[in-house]
Amino acid sequence: MIAARSSLRAAAIAATIALAGCAPDRGEAYLLSFAAAERAFHAGRFPEAARAWNDAAAKARRVKDRDEARFLEARCYGRAGMWSQARATYQRLAADSPAGPRTGRAIFELADIEIEHGDAARGWVMLDEAARKLPKHGLARSAVRRMIQHAEDAGGPAAALAWIDAHRAAFDGTELDEVIYYERARALERAGRKAEAHDGFLASARRHPYPLGGLADDAFWHAAAIDEERGQFNEAIAHLRELLAAREPGGAWASYERPRFSEAQLRIALIYRDKLEDHAAARRELERLYAEHPTTIKRDDAVWNEALLARQDGDTQTVCKLAERLLAEFPESRYARCAHDLCPTAPAAKRPCADYLLRELRGEKKGD
């Protein structure tokens, strides 16, 4: 036993030494200056922290460490409102390390400084150039949206569309292609050009489908909303179903549940109920929401609304079955208190059903 414990200790020590040998040698002088900068930063002494990070950058043995220290130095100058020093530090970082891990961020930060604290017109040009040069950067999407909003603030939706159309070729095939297509449809919608916006949303969703397209769900959703506005309810349902078609089946290999999935399923049910007045279809779609979307917070709403439709249809057996489901699966739901009011054979709750839910149950409209 003692020999075994000694062997385990020896193995642990050997592993620790091996790991230490794999760790990069960043240099004690660099680490001391970096730690001093962090202490000053957390104490709110930003100019002091900037000087300490400058010292750390000078002592760094790796380009990555030097760039990180230089970036933090510039951020500290920004915190202190020392914009000329921040600008100079970002410029130095970009000049010394054109392909470094922090250079892209530095380029976008330089544009921001110019917009907010220098020559704004020049800053917007710099931001445009940054997005064109670095379309894969994490800040490029927000930069494009900012520029579209800036154009719209200056000249309305027509100016936003003009900006987008002037940049479509530059961003074609890049990470920003989807943003351009989607934002163009949004600008058309704001301009009141609903038919073009509808087609634009569909083009965006189909050009950049899930899983690579991050805006496909929203694009289908907006297209369906325009269909509803125009009274084209079956078209709206078709586009919501197209949104849902990308949803993978349940089970171990299912994709995560995206927010628009349950929203789209519920919207389909409500269109059948409120627009097409098709109770059978609405009940079917509400049941699908309950059964196929187990993580949504709308499941108890689906059960309640399905029960109301069944009650209007005189389907007492289904009403009681759904009342039992509310009690068994959603005991904390506001609707569970109304189970007895739905079905007299269901047990009465300790607290009464809310008045507004009783009015819904009786079929009274708001304001009655």
pTM: 0.85
Radius of gyration for the alpha carbons in the chain, expressed in angstroms and rounded: 30
* pLDDT above 50: residue 251: no
Q: Can you tell me the distance from the alpha carbon of 101 to that of 90, in angstroms, rounded to the nearest whole number?
A: 13
List pLDDT tens digits, range 104-117: 999 999 999 999 99
Q: Can you tell me the distance from the alpha carbon of 207 to that of 216, in angstroms, rounded to the nearest whole number?
A: 9
pLDDT of residue 367: 54
Q: Output the CA torsion 33→37→40→42 (10° steps).
A: -140
310, 317, 324, 332 from 347: Cα distances, Å: 19, 16, 9, 15
* pLDDT above 80: residue 365: no
How deeply is 13 buried, as exposed, middle or buried, from its count of CB atoms within 10 A (0-12, 13-18, 19+)?
A: exposed
Lookup result for tokens 């919608």: 189
Checking 35-40 for CB contacts under 8 A at 24+ apart, the result is 37/69, 37/72, 37/73, 37/76
Residue 301's Cβ-side half-sphere holds a number of Cα atoms within 13 Å equal to 12
pLDDT of residue 249: 62
Portion of the chain with pLDDT greater than 90, in percent = 85
